[in-house]
Structure formats: C-alpha cells, structure tokens
Amino acid sequence: MLILSCLMMGKVVASPADSVTVECPFIKMTPQRLPDLNVPRFAHRVCYLNGELTVFGGHTSGFVLEQSAEYFKDGQWHMMQMVYNHDDGICVPLRNGKVLLAGGYDKNLGIDQTFEAELYDPATHTFEGFGTLYHKRAHGVGIEANNGKVYISGNWYNVDGIEVYEGEMQFAHVKETSEQRSLPYLFRTSDGDVMVVNGCVDNRDKPIYSSVVDRAKGSSFNVPLLETWRPYLIHNCFLSETCFIGDEKKGDYAYLLPLQNEEGQVAIAEVRDTVFTLLPTNVSVPMKGPFGEIQYHNPVVVDREIQRGYIMAYDTVECHRYILAIDYAKRPAELTMYYTDPMRGSEHCCPVLSPDGDLVITGGVGVGFTNFSPISEVWLFPFGKDKPHISVAQNRWWWLGALVLVALLVGLLLIRYYRRKHSSVVPEVVTSEIDMAKNEELLARVQTLMQNDKPYLESELNMSDIADRLGVHRNEVSACVNSCLGISFSQFVNEYRVEYAKRLLTNKPEMKMTQIAMESGFSSDTSFFRTFKSLVGMTPKEWQITK
C-alpha cells in the first residue's frame, strides 16, 4: 500500500509558455522489493504475458550477452533458454498471444547486430527460431498494425529503414526513412498506417533535430511542434503501445509522447492520428524536486482503465526515484509527483504495468550507466487500482461517496460525543491498532496452516492458495505478512522451505541436492541454491558441512 507519509509542495511553472508560479504536490511512497532475478540484466525486454512478468535476454555482468529468459510465477523466477541472444533487441507482443523477439547485439560488449528472429509462446514457455530480419538491427522498435503485420524501424550503427513481418520466415523491406533513427516511436493511425517518430538520437548516437515524421504506407510530413520540442533520450528499448490512450473500438488512435525543449523543460504531447499538440496540464512537469534536479529517462506507461500515465525519473545526487503521474483525461491534465527513498540501480530500465495497475522495474544499471554491472533487483511501485488516491479520483460518482463518508463521520462524532457525555470512561480505538491486531491474528492462522499442513512443500503455492484455505482475500494474506514481518510473501514461504531443507540436510545426508530441492518445495535447483544462500549466507553444501 502507498505510504503517503510526506506531502511536499514544489514550485513549478504552470505551462511551458506561462510564467505564473504554481505548486505541484510531491508525495512520498514506499516501493515493494520483489524476489531478485536469477541473472543480473540490462537491455533486456520486459512484459506481462498471461499474468506472468516475463523478461527476455539482455546482457549480464561484464557486458556478456545473456541467452536466457525468466518468468515470475508463484513468488519465484523460472529460467528459460531462448534460441538466440537479444541484447537491446526488438520485442513485440502479438494479438495471437505469442511474442516476436528479433535482433540485438551480435557479440559481447554491444558489438555488431544480428538478423535472428524467434517467437515465444507463453502458454508453453517455449521458443521457436524461425527467420531473419531484412536489416540486422539493435535499438529497433516494432509494433503490430491493425492488419496483423508487424512494422519495425530504428537501428544502432547500421542502416535504418522500415521493414515488415507478415508471418513468414523472412522480413520484407517496406521503404527507406527520411532519418536514420535509434529507438523511434511507432504509432498506429486510424487509417491502418504506422507513423515513425524521431527518438532523441540517430543510428550513430548523434542528436536528431528534424520535425519530419515517416509513415509505413503514406507520405512523410512535417510536425511544427517537433521544431521546438523533441523526445528526450531513452536508454532502453520500449513498447510503443504502452503509451496508447485511445479506444480502438471507436477508431480513436492516440498516444502520449514525452518531449523536451532547448531549455531542458519536459512536457507531454498528445498524438491523435497525425495531429501533435502539447497536453494541457495544471502545472508544468517538475524539473526539480526536494533532493535536486530530476532526470527523466522513460516513455509514458499508461493505465488505460483509470486513464492515468506514468513517467519514471530519478535525481542524480541521492538516487531517489520519482514517478510522475498524469491524469490525462482531465482538462487540464493533473500532475502528481511521487518519490521514494534513495534506491540504487535501475535508473535506465523501462517500467511495465502489472495487471493490478502497479509499476514494476526489473534489473537495470545504476547512476553512472555502466553496462558492465547490471543488477538483479526487482521493485514494485504500488499504484494498483484499489488504491484510494486513484480509485476515488477516477470514480465518476466520487461526490456521492464523499457525501456518504461525511455523513458517516458526522454520525461517528455524534455517537462519540453522546458516549463521552454519559460515561466517565470511553476508550479510544486507533484504526491502525485495530488493523495491526487483525493482521497479527491472521498471521497466526497462516503460520499454523504452514506448520500443520506444510503447503510450502508445493512448488506452485501462491497467495491465492493460502487465502482460499483460510477463507480470506489474497491481499489480506500479503498485508499481514508485510506489516507484521516486514518481508514479502515469497520470502515468507521460502523461509519455511529452507528450514525444511535444513532438516533434510541434517537427517538425510545421503540425499542428493536436487532431491532435497524438490522435496522442500523449490521449483528448481537454481531457485533452491540462490534462495538458501540468500537467507542463510552459505550454500546448502557449506551449511551441511558445518553441521
């Protein structure tokens, strides 16, 4: 849950062209640490598939290509082997449920590019290599058009251009582009076309100042707004569809595009078909926070259900994380800035939106931007739809709820006044104390279940399983573990598994480590060894020897 422990007001300018000083709220929040990836990664691709957070490729420590993927299920990361390497490659989730992966660096240290393409099937967790790109690419971006064709553009130290994948083994050339681009934005339009919008730099890492937008089928055209505002630098590839704010059923194709002018001021453009305009906001995008200058580094990630977008940023002094929330359906759009305590790493990793409406970042690199030292940390920023500051703001009947709430508060105050008047002693009950008591009571039930039934020995165990057995909501299970023990549910379960493994190591020293891992509830040897060392400080074999 969000901890709104500090509300700070920062001075910003009302709009890029307005000199009136107004205030923007800065609200402190506390992210949740999820289990680490099995492999430290950067320049990998991330998306949710069938409810599973999934990461593909990238490179690991030493800038070494990583030919593996991982998916997060039941509180654990599960390793998979890809057919090819895709470091800074292309990732396009398709409407048929599969994922197109293509291109990336060919060698360690980010040298050269590849042609290789494969499909991932999340239903079976399998990969199939099938063909080659028209141009070998890194720093490319793809998007699936309305006709099912996938258009691709963008490159790094190799020629750009637009090419298309139509379900065959090879990709076909469509046309040359007016600019050689790195990490362009690809936007669908209502006529079935795809626009290619400049990123910040070209395919040789040189700044792009052109206002020309290319189209896959139509003619290129000039955008006056892009003559004074241009996209800021994004270090990691992204999915253009994450910033889609339109409604396909109504033929409304619209996106949010972050821009920056020569003075460094950031603003948001609303792109509707081929029309580019600045999104009117109640305040300017804050460029300074309570800890210094704010550095924006991500595209907009949109939660269309609540009509809110997010841009992640950080300060370069103490490494606080910032998340700018954009309630874009309002006019003017309302901006709110959330910030965290200092966090190491992940400054250049694009977040993804979870099915529950939270933001999640995986791996990445820290301030200083060294490709040789990626991290394995995974963090969740709790912006879920059940959070009061979101659900109330987006409820069209919020005023009725507010009236009911006021009436209840007045009633409670009258009851309290009456009781005080007619009783010499009236105990005051603090809500937080009641919540803590309920959490402690539920935790005791959870612990009794774990000790008696040993559900942790089931490798597929999740919070919903525990909640169903106790007749409560899964969020209550998570809340009682987090608030009472200060750990995640997955760590809570893994502690039981590690203790069980210790008993096997002691009582059955002849057992193989693989068998101990399986009998203790771990889904793999890798998960067993990593978790055991993380909690105990030594490997299972080292611990066994000491006993």
What is the signed CA dihedral for 267, 271, 276, 278, rounded to 10 degrees?
Answer: -30
Residue-level pLDDT at 214:
97
pLDDT attached to residue 315:
84
Q: Could you read off the pLDDT of 136-193 as tens digits, one per residue? A: 999 999 999 989 999 999 999 999 999 999 998 889 999 999 999 999 999 999 999 9
Looking up tokens 């290319």 gives: 214
Confidence at residue 290, expressed as pLDDT on a 0 to 100 scale? 87
Closest CA to 304 of 266, 255, 268: 255
Parallel/antiparallel/unpaired status of strands 45-49 and 52-56: antiparallel
**Length of the chain, in residues:** 547
Highest mean pLDDT, choosing among 203-212, 252-261, 536-545: 252-261
The rounded mean pLDDT for the chain is 85
List pLDDT tens digits, range 321-340. Answer: 999 999 999 989 999 999 99
Find all residues with CB under 8 Å of 204, minimum gap 6, and list them: 157, 180
What is the distance between the alpha carbons of residues 99 and 410, in angstroms, rounded to a whole number? 55
φ, ψ of residue 310 to 5 degrees: the values are: -135, 140
Average pLDDT of the residues in 238-262: 91
The pLDDT tens digits for 356-376 are: 999 999 998 865 568 898 999
- pLDDT tens digits for 69-82? 999 999 999 999 99
Rg (CA), the chain: 26
Going from the C-alpha of 215 to that of each of 155, 178, 196, 514, the distances in angstroms are 17, 10, 6, 55
pLDDT value for 43? 93
Residue 83, exposed/middle/buried by CB under 10 A (0-12, 13-18, 19+)?
A: middle
Q: What is the pLDDT of residues 83-131, one digit of tens each?
A: 999 999 999 999 999 999 999 999 999 999 999 999 999 999 999 999 9
pLDDT tens digit sequence for 422-465: 443 334 334 456 677 888 889 999 999 999 899 999 988 988 88
Q: Minimal CA–CA distance to 278: which of 320, 216, 330, 332?
A: 332
How far CA 83 is from CA of 139, 143, 171, 433, in Å, comes to: 19, 22, 18, 54
3-state SS string over 309-372?
A: EEEEEEECCCCEEEEEEEECCCCCEEEEEEEEEECCCCCCCCCEECCCCCEEEECCCCCCCCCC
Question: Does residue 313 come out as left (phi exceeding 0), alpha (psi in the -120 to 50 range) or beta?
Answer: beta
Lowest mean per-residue pLDDT among 52-66, 259-273, 519-533:
519-533
Minimum mean pLDDT range among 151-165, 494-508, 521-535: 521-535
Using the 8-state DSSP alphabet, how is residue 457 labeled? G
- Provide the pLDDT for residue 8: 39
pLDDT at 525: 77
Residues 6+ apart with CB under 8 A from 372: 61, 62, 63
Looking at the DSSP assignment, which residues form a beta bridge with residue 47? Answer: 54
19 vs 482, more confident: 482
Backbone φ, ψ for residue 140 (5° rounding): -95, 160
Alpha-carbon distance of 493 to 454, in angstroms, equals: 10
DSSP per-residue codes, 236-280: S---GGGGB-SBGGGTB-EEEEEEE-TT--EEEEEEETTEEEEPP
Tokens, residue 478: 């998570």
Q: Tell me how far apart the alpha carbons of residues 470 and 308 are, in angstroms, rounded to a whole number.
A: 35
Above 50 in pLDDT, residue 392? no
Tell me whether residue 396 is exposed, middle or buried, using C-beta atoms within 10 angstroms of its C-beta: 0 to 12, 13 to 18, 19 or more: exposed
Residues 6+ apart with CB under 8 A from 391: 306, 385
**By mean pLDDT, which of 104-113, 156-165, 386-395, 469-478 is the weakest?**
386-395
Is residue 188 within 8 A of residue 143, CB to CB? The reply is: yes
pLDDT of 367 reads: 56
The CATH class of the 438-546 domain is mainly alpha
pLDDT at residue 531 greater than cutoff 50: yes
Q: Where are any strands of DSSP class E within 364-420?
A: 378-381
Half-sphere exposure of 462 (CA within 13 A, CB side): 12
CA distance 455 to 458: 6
Cis omega (within 30 of 0) on the bond before 332? yes
Q: Can you list the pairs that 417-422 forms with residues at least 24 positions away whose Cβ atoms lie under 8 Å?
A: none
